[in-house]
């Protein structure tokens, strides 16, 4: 068995020289798979499965726990619309059927064909989830616009006057106009750049280094006697008007003690 062989649903393996699509697991000893285009399921021992070098890389399944409930509802709606097509054989399915489903879902027929093929390969509802962008987390703004935003944040937002984020947006748009940049960034984009700043930098620039140091730097110094854990224990206490008496040393007249303002702890 090849070291790079993967058994997640949708991956392709070879068994007895034939190609199989992984459907599910049976413990650590076997997998459930079927040949592409067929419905018969086979139980394949893991130690007999081989990597299919000719297969296209399978789509890595998403982290299902992290998928929002709203996206699952969308996936279920897509599955419900496409379910009649999924029950059909390829020869029975017509272009008109696919086009009708695409109109109901507000998608292009090519997208519907892709969903049908992906579901045929792994039979998982996750194929109907929204596909994550490959460039997520990277900036799609021009370098010149990024520099304008950075300069506006530094000169406007990170100052003692503590202007609002809206003031930064106005400055960015003004500089875009001066530089003949027609496609100006959206306010949410500028806000996202501001929120990327560290809390300490924001506090230091807007309220001063001393304020930032007080909040984010450890208190220096040494407490005498605290050389090991629980070397010093402190207990808060509050004075109360309490008279403690016992059988051997009875107290005097309690009213007299209270009148004198005596406090016994």
Give the ranges where 64-108 is alpha helix by DSSP (H).
69-87, 95-105
Per-residue pLDDT of 216-255, as tens digits, reads: 887 777 777 778 888 888 887 778 787 777 777 655 555 5
Q: What is the pLDDT of residue 254?
A: 54
Residues 6+ apart with CB under 8 A from 211: 203, 204
pLDDT of residue 45: 87
Positions of the chain with pLDDT under 70:
1-8, 10, 25, 27, 37, 52-67, 122, 131-140, 249-265
What are 42's strand-pairing partners? 33
- Order of strands across the sheet with 50-51? 41-45, 30-34, 18-26, 12-15, 50-51
**pLDDT given for residue 265 in this prediction:** 44
Q: What is the pLDDT of residue 47?
A: 82
Q: Structure tokens of 182?
A: 């027609």
CATH number for the domain running over 1-58? 2.30.30
pLDDT at 173: 93
The reported pLDDT for the residue numbered 250 is 58
Say which CATH superfamily domain 143-209 falls into. Answer: Homeodomain-like (1.10.10.60)
Q: Where are the domains of the chain?
A: 1-58, 64-128, 143-209
Q: So what's the pLDDT on residue 137?
A: 52
**By C-alpha distance, which of 207, 197, 67 is closest to 127?**
67
* 3-class SS of residue 26: strand
């Amino acid at each position: 068995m090849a070291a790079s062989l993967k058994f997640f649903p949708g991956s392709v393996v070879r068994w007895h020289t034939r190609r199989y699509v992984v459907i599910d697991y049976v413990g650590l000893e076997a997998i459930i798979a079927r040949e592409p285009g067929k419905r018969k399921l086979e139980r394949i021992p893991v130690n007999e499965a081989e990597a299919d070098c000719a297969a296209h890389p399978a789509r890595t399944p998403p982290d299902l726990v992290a998928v929002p409930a709203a996206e699952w509802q969308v996936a279920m709606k897509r599955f419900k619309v496409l379910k009649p097509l999924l029950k059909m054989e390829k020869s029975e399915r017509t272009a008109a059927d696919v086009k009708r489903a695409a109109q109901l879902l507000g998608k292009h027929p090519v997208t519907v064909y892709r969903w049908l093929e992906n579901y045929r390969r792994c039979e998982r509802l996750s194929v109907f989830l929204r596909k994550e962008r490959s460039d997520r987390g990277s900036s799609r703004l021009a370098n010149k616009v990024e520099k304008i935003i950075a300069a506006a944040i530094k000169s406007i937002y990170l100052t003692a006057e503590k202007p609002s984020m809206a003031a930064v947006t106005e400055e960015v748009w003004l500089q875009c106009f001066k530089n003949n940049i027609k496609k100006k960034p959206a306010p949410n984009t500028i806000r996202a750049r501001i929120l990327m700043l560290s809390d300490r930098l924001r506090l230091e620039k807007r309220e001063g280094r001393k304020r930032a140091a007080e909040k984010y730097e450890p208190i220096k110094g040494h407490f005498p006697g605290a050389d090991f854990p629980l070397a010093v224990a402190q207990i808060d206490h509050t004075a109360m008007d309490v008279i403690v008496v016992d059988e051997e040393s009875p107290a005097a007249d309690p009213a007299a003690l209270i009148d004198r303002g005596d406090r016994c702890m």
